[in-house]
Chain A
Amino acid sequence: MEDRIAAYITRTREKALEQARAVDRQIRNGEKISPLAGIPVAVKDNICTDGILTTAASRMLAGFVPPYSATVVKRLEAAGATLPGKTNLDEFAMGSSTENSAFFTTRNPWDTGRVPGGSSGGSAAAVACGEAVCALGSDTGGSIRLPASFCGVIGFKPTYGAVSRYGLIAFASSLDQIGPFSRDVTDCALLLNAICGHDPLDSTSARFDVPDFTRFLVNDIRGMKIGVPEEYMAEGINSGVREVVVKAIALLESLGASVEYTNLPHTEYALSTYYLIAPAEASSNLARYDGVRYGFRAAKTSDVMDMFMKTRSQGFGAEVKRRIMLGTYALSAGYYDAYYLKALKVRTLIKEDFDRAFEKYDLLVSPVSPTTAFRCGEKTGDPLEMYLSDICTISLNLAGIPGMSIPCGFVEGMPVGLQLMGKHFDEGTLLRAAYTFEQNSDYHRAFPVL
């Protein structure tokens, strides 16, 4: 299976078996075990694992073994989950297809000629084809939801601040958020239970009362007010996808929700706003990869500046370099106000769009992506075309709100994801809607034939 899908950069069979044996002992001793005990949860390879290679799919970190584990990894370990391996991604989580991985492209289990989406393509594919029961990914502009949608699994991006980022190799700090992949909503809730909550090692992690997310697994959305932003259903959305999503929305309505079309008027600025803020932060976050302390260092350099330049020229892939240059430019003297500062202001407007919408609605729904999974190589020549895959997902990261992709149908045999969007820290409403949808549909039961 792995030969055809290539979901993992590193497989940690021995570690998983060792963890599983520990759970076996607990069971034999009659100890109480957590719902995740012994469950294989794959981890995206931009999340640090103590003593286990963590590459961010970059040549720059091809040999990097962290001396510490991310907070989420520690929490999964504490819950008894086992680690089957570290999954492939677009280099430093920059991309929408995993084609930007410095090592190889992960294949979509529904059609191995197609991409799994990105950047958490490895995690999505591993869960879709059963190589892992669940997985963790990270989502900066759609990197959990898009591959979940392309691979027909559940993907959840929690509210910014709900899950600790400590140990997540930063792409864009104000947008990055770790979240789970699973095959059903119940597992998603269990994973959220394990990973959510304040972390003193992350200043941006929120102090909030973490609910038991399984109490939202209720098959009832009667009276739920759902808004459908028109901007997310407009031209550019593939007609097949739109049809499937419209049908899914009709199902929600038939289950007792009230549905209305609404507007998020600043949506058209989201992509450009995102492509100023995310690269700006990335240009600074990725400055540390210079060959001095760890990771790749270019050979045959004449002095320290030469070493920096050659290391970074050779160590980073094209998309990463493109974004570093974009971001450096946006922050440069004389351009900061026009680009970065302006983008921050528009970001506030986008957030206010959502605030206004959530005065009226409990939930917003839309497609996750304008298309289903595209063919490998189809968009690699045109970065802008690739960026458009995230047109429906990036606004949520800018606003910091939670978003979820649930399987809602197929177009020509390829899965389509329905995006649920909620208020800050209202993960519960998303889970309730997703669970109700799931209990009244069969899409999550479909399994790719390989």
Chain B
Amino acid sequence: MTNYETVIGLEVHVELKTRSKIFCDSTTEFGGEPNTHVCPVCLGLPGVLPVVNKTVVEYAIRAALALNCQIAGFSKFDRKNYYYPDMPKNYQISQYDLPIAGHGYLDIDVNNEVRRIGITRLHMEEDTGKLVHQGTITTTPYSLVDYNRAGVPLVEIVSGPDLRSPEEARVYMEKLKTIIQYTGVSDCKMEEGSLRCDANISIRPVGSEQFGTKTEIKNLNSFKALYRALSYEVERQTGVLNKGGRIVQETRTWDEREGVTLPLRSKEYAHDYRYFPDPDLVPMIIDPEWVEDIRRSLPELPDALRERYMQEYGLPGYDAGILTSTKELADFFESCVSAYPNPKAVSNWMMGDLSRLLNAGGVELTACKIKPAQLASLLQLMDEGIISGRIAKTVFEEMFASGKDPGDIVKEKGLVQISDKSAIMAVVEDVLAKNPKSAADFRAGKERALGFLVGQVMKTTRGKANPELVDKLLKEKLLQEKL
């Protein structure tokens, strides 16, 4: 049996979060009653003309620079002609042979190895509207069209055929999402469709230089779907070749429920898009100085940030990797550290309790009720000895649930740590009196007995006693009486 190598290229669509659409001033806001975020231009009424939104070009350049692309000095828009009812003009304004950017790359870490994935091109285009079927696409008696999304700006980012496994594809996609989010040009919300992905996949005998026949997989709405669909497709194609069959070049759709890819249309029915330069839009000459201005305004990107967290803050590579894996995490971390300059402690809380609670509750960091300043003041309270580490965990959970300030929670619930020596001593004496056996055990050398006694003191003080002090006083008392 032949060993095959997988070859994958991804076409990723990213919705840019400009305020207005790419060729008119209608809002790009998500949602809204159907056909309310529209105007004559994005509805393609007779006589209207597009005018390019300069911010779209700026955002495209921003994204492209973050992906190490070269920016074209001369670029133009073309019409992609095909009939579909979600297209107001039955052509999509896109870019064909002179895209705004290309020749870039993105480095991904797979199995502790850095792989450089080429970005073939990045181009701008307008989004289409959305069909609302009555039931499923095959049974619907009629469909409604919502053009709110028509004309929302997109960039399409096309990778080289450089990905060698479904896992690499997923990591690439995640990294791409992170980088784009860092640049601030898109929310990259897969669930709202602001990040979409089609995959081209083929297999070839290991060592072969030639590409195999590829299939295009659509409807990949999550990282998981991407991974599963590609894994399925690798197996399917391998199966076909091993049985002596040949791969049909076609578009397939991922069926999430059945966990299979299904043929959508074969290339025999492939569209001839009849691209030609859009005569309504003049070509763009991109000022290199503008590009440099945009480059200077780019934030620190994840790879550089990770490096800095390791060097400057002394964080382990793993921690630094996680904290820079989304812009939200990094921003959260940075604002905590600026209020509480102990990066390691902040990192520990974020990697530990915070991420545990977020995962358990299925909450996005952006929706988290705890604000960075609040985590910082919690850590402050611990440093000042006002609460113990143990109480801090309780307070943190309360903060997570209610969003209240840690100081308020401590006050309301009377959680201030008891650090009064005489008050603790009273409890210690009481506990020893009630547990003579444990006291004797300890004196007899059973260290474990101490834990029990500490526990009893903490229980009596409802956890508020300063644990170090309890430990110290208990030992003092036990040893005293031994003498």
Please choose the segment from A96-104, A148-156, A168-176, A352-360 that sits at the chain B interface, where 4 or more of its residues have CB less than 8 A away: A168-176
Q: In the assembled complex, which residues on chain B have CB atoms less than 8 Å from the CB atom of A287?
A: 81, 83, 89-91
Q: In the assembled complex, which residues on chain A have CB atoms less than 8 Å from the CB atom of B44?
A: 288, 293
- Look across to chain B and name the residue whose beta carbon is closest to the beta carbon of A280: B276
- Given A287-B90, A304-B85: A203 in contact with B47 (beta carbons within 8 A): no
Q: In the assembled complex, which residues on chain A have CB atoms less than 8 Å from the CB atom of B79?
A: 284
Contact A67 B90 (CB under 8 A): no
Contact B46 A333 (CB under 8 A): no
Q: In this assembly, does A64 line the interface, its C-beta being within 8 Å of a C-beta of chain B?
A: yes
Contact A54 B91 (CB under 8 A): no
Q: Which of B40, B272, B280 is close to A332, meaning CB atoms less than 8 Å apart?
A: B272
Q: In this assembly, does B329 line the interface, its C-beta being within 8 Å of a C-beta of chain A?
A: no
**Residue among B43, B44, B276, B281 having the largest count of chain A Cβ atoms under 10 Å:** B276
Chain A contact residues, CB within 8 Å of chain B: 46-48, 54, 56, 61, 64, 66-68, 70, 165-170, 172-174, 200-204, 280-281, 283-284, 287-288, 290, 292-294, 304-305, 308, 328, 331-333, 336, 340
Which secondary structure dominates chain A's binding surface?
loop
Binary CB contact string for chain B from 176 to 216 against chain A (1 if under 8 A, 0 otherwise): 00000000000000000000000000000000000000000
Q: In the assembled complex, which residues on chain B have CB atoms less than 8 Å from the CB atom of A70?
A: 47
Q: In this assembly, does B274 line the interface, its C-beta being within 8 Å of a C-beta of chain A?
A: yes
For the complex formed, measure the closest distance between the CB of A4 and the CB atoms of chain B, giving whole angstroms: 30
- Given A284-B79, A292-B145: A336 in contact with B276 (beta carbons within 8 A): yes
Contact B49 A288 (CB under 8 A): no
Q: Which of A66, A67, A333, A340 is close to B272, meaning CB atoms less than 8 Å apart?
A: A333
Binary CB contact string for chain B from 357 to 370 against chain A (1 if under 8 A, 0 otherwise): 00000000000000
Q: In this assembly, does B478 line the interface, its C-beta being within 8 Å of a C-beta of chain A?
A: no
- Look across to chain A and name the residue whose beta carbon is closest to the beta carbon of B50: A203
Contact A281 B83 (CB under 8 A): no
For the complex formed, measure the closest distance between the CB of A163 and the CB atoms of chain B, giving whole angstroms: 13
5 contacts between A and B (CB under 8 A): A165-B49, A173-B279, A204-B281, A283-B274, A288-B90
- Look across to chain B and name the residue whose beta carbon is closest to the beta carbon of A309: B83
Q: In this assembly, does B467 line the interface, its C-beta being within 8 Å of a C-beta of chain A?
A: no
A213 vs B85: C-alpha distance when bound (angstroms): 46
Contact B88 A281 (CB under 8 A): no
Q: In the assembled complex, which residues on chain A have CB atoms less than 8 Å from the CB atom of B48?
A: 68, 166-167
A67 vs B39: C-alpha distance when bound (angstroms): 9
- Look across to chain A and name the residue whose beta carbon is closest to the beta carbon of B145: A292
Contact A281 B51 (CB under 8 A): no
Contact A64 B40 (CB under 8 A): no
Contact B88 A328 (CB under 8 A): no
Contact A288 B88 (CB under 8 A): yes
8 A Cβ contacts from B13-54 to A = 40, 43-52
A284 vs B85: C-alpha distance when bound (angstroms): 15
Q: In the assembled complex, which residues on chain A have CB atoms less than 8 Å from the CB atom of B85?
A: 290, 292, 304
Q: In this assembly, does B282 line the interface, its C-beta being within 8 Å of a C-beta of chain A?
A: yes
Contact A48 B279 (CB under 8 A): no
- Given A203-B50, A290-B90, A294-B45: A284 in contact with B280 (beta carbons within 8 A): no
Q: In the assembled complex, which residues on chain A have CB atoms less than 8 Å from the CB atom of B88?
A: 288, 293
A168 vs B48: C-alpha distance when bound (angstroms): 7
A432 vs B94: C-alpha distance when bound (angstroms): 44
Q: In the assembled complex, which residues on chain B have CB atoms less than 8 Å from the CB atom of A331?
A: 81, 274-276
Contact B46 A204 (CB under 8 A): no
For the complex formed, measure the closest distance between the CB of B172 and the CB atoms of chain A, giving whole angstroms: 31
Q: In the assembled complex, which residues on chain A have CB atoms less than 8 Å from the CB atom of B282?
A: 203-204
**Residue among B46, B83, B143 having the largest count of chain A Cβ atoms under 10 Å:** B46
Q: In the assembled complex, which residues on chain A have CB atoms less than 8 Å from the CB atom of B51?
A: 200-203
For the complex formed, measure the closest distance between the CB of B122 and the CB atoms of chain A, giving whole angstroms: 22
Contact A284 B46 (CB under 8 A): no
User: What would 7 more interface pairs be, CB under 8 Å, given A70-B47, A203-B49, A284-B276?
Assistant: A56-B46, A68-B45, A200-B51, A204-B281, A281-B279, A288-B46, A290-B85
A58 vs B291: C-alpha distance when bound (angstroms): 47
Q: How many residues of B contact A (CB 8 A)?
A: 29
- Look across to chain B and name the residue whose beta carbon is closest to the beta carbon of A292: B85
Contact A290 B274 (CB under 8 A): no
Which 8 pairs of residues, A with B, have the shortest CB-CB distance? A287-B90, A174-B279, A173-B279, A331-B274, A169-B46, A167-B47, A48-B47, A288-B89
8 A Cβ contacts from B227-274 to A = 272, 274
Q: Which of A203, A292, A293 is close to B280, meaning CB atoms less than 8 Å apart?
A: A203
- Look across to chain B and name the residue whose beta carbon is closest to the beta carbon of A333: B272
8 A Cβ contacts from B76-90 to A = 79, 81, 83, 85, 88-90
Contact B47 A66 (CB under 8 A): yes
A173 vs B81: C-alpha distance when bound (angstroms): 16
Q: In the assembled complex, which residues on chain A have CB atoms less than 8 Å from the CB atom of B280?
A: 170, 173, 203-204
Q: Which of B43, B50, B145, B274 is close to A328, meaning CB atoms less than 8 Å apart?
A: B274
A174 vs B276: C-alpha distance when bound (angstroms): 12
Q: In the assembled complex, which residues on chain A have CB atoms less than 8 Å from the CB atom of B43?
A: 293
Q: Which of A56, A203, A284, A308 is close to B91, meaning CB atoms less than 8 Å apart?
A: A284
Contact A166 B46 (CB under 8 A): no
8 A Cβ contacts from B83-132 to A = 83, 85, 88-91
For the complex formed, measure the closest distance between the CB of A387 and the CB atoms of chain B, giving whole angstroms: 21
- Look across to chain A and name the residue whose beta carbon is closest to the beta carbon of B44: A288
Contact B47 A166 (CB under 8 A): yes
Contact A66 B45 (CB under 8 A): yes
A294 vs B280: C-alpha distance when bound (angstroms): 22
8 A Cβ contacts from B141-192 to A = 143, 145
Q: Which of A67, A170, A172, A340 is close to B40, meaning CB atoms less than 8 Å apart?
A: A67
A166 vs B51: C-alpha distance when bound (angstroms): 11
A332 vs B40: C-alpha distance when bound (angstroms): 29
Q: In the assembled complex, which residues on chain A have CB atoms less than 8 Å from the CB atom of B279?
A: 172-174, 204, 281
Q: In the assembled complex, which residues on chain B have CB atoms less than 8 Å from the CB atom of A54?
A: 46-47
For the complex formed, measure the closest distance between the CB of B183 and the CB atoms of chain A, giving whole angstroms: 26
Q: In the assembled complex, which residues on chain A have CB atoms less than 8 Å from the CB atom of B46?
A: 48, 54, 56, 61, 64, 66, 169-170, 288, 294
8 A Cβ contacts from B259-315 to A = 272, 274-276, 279-282
A336 vs B97: C-alpha distance when bound (angstroms): 14
Binary CB contact string for chain B from 379 to 403 against chain A (1 if under 8 A, 0 otherwise): 0000000000000000000000000
For the complex formed, measure the closest distance between the CB of A330 and the CB atoms of chain B, giving whole angstroms: 9
Q: In the assembled complex, which residues on chain B have CB atoms less than 8 Å from the CB atom of A304?
A: 85, 143
- Given A165-B49, A288-B46, A288-B90: A203 in contact with B276 (beta carbons within 8 A): no
Q: In the assembled complex, which residues on chain B have CB atoms less than 8 Å from the CB atom of A283?
A: 81, 274
Q: In the assembled complex, which residues on chain B have CB atoms less than 8 Å from the CB atom of A200?
A: 51
Q: In the assembled complex, which residues on chain B have CB atoms less than 8 Å from the CB atom of A201?
A: 49, 51
Q: In the assembled complex, which residues on chain A have CB atoms less than 8 Å from the CB atom of B40?
A: 66-68
**Residue among A46, A61, A67, A290 having the largest count of chain B Cβ atoms under 10 Å:** A290
A169 vs B89: C-alpha distance when bound (angstroms): 13
- Given A203-B282, A204-B282, A336-B276: A290 in contact with B83 (beta carbons within 8 A): yes
Q: In the assembled complex, which residues on chain A have CB atoms less than 8 Å from the CB atom of B145?
A: 292-293
Q: Which of B47, B81, B83, B272 is close to A169, meaning CB atoms less than 8 Å apart?
A: B47
For the complex formed, measure the closest distance between the CB of A274 and the CB atoms of chain B, giving whole angstroms: 14
Q: In the assembled complex, which residues on chain B have CB atoms less than 8 Å from the CB atom of A203?
A: 49-52, 280-282
Contact B81 A284 (CB under 8 A): yes
A47 vs B47: C-alpha distance when bound (angstroms): 7
For the complex formed, measure the closest distance between the CB of B284 and the CB atoms of chain A, giving whole angstroms: 10
A280 vs B81: C-alpha distance when bound (angstroms): 11
A56 vs B280: C-alpha distance when bound (angstroms): 19
A336 vs B276: C-alpha distance when bound (angstroms): 9
For the complex formed, measure the closest distance between the CB of B250 and the CB atoms of chain A, giving whole angstroms: 19
A296 vs B455: C-alpha distance when bound (angstroms): 83
Q: In the assembled complex, which residues on chain B have CB atoms less than 8 Å from the CB atom of A67?
A: 40, 45
Q: In the assembled complex, which residues on chain B have CB atoms less than 8 Å from the CB atom of A169?
A: 46-47
A132 vs B116: C-alpha distance when bound (angstroms): 70
A284 vs B44: C-alpha distance when bound (angstroms): 12
8 A Cβ contacts from B43-70 to A = 43-52
Contact B49 A332 (CB under 8 A): no
- Look across to chain A and name the residue whose beta carbon is closest to the beta carbon of B80: A284
A202 vs B23: C-alpha distance when bound (angstroms): 11
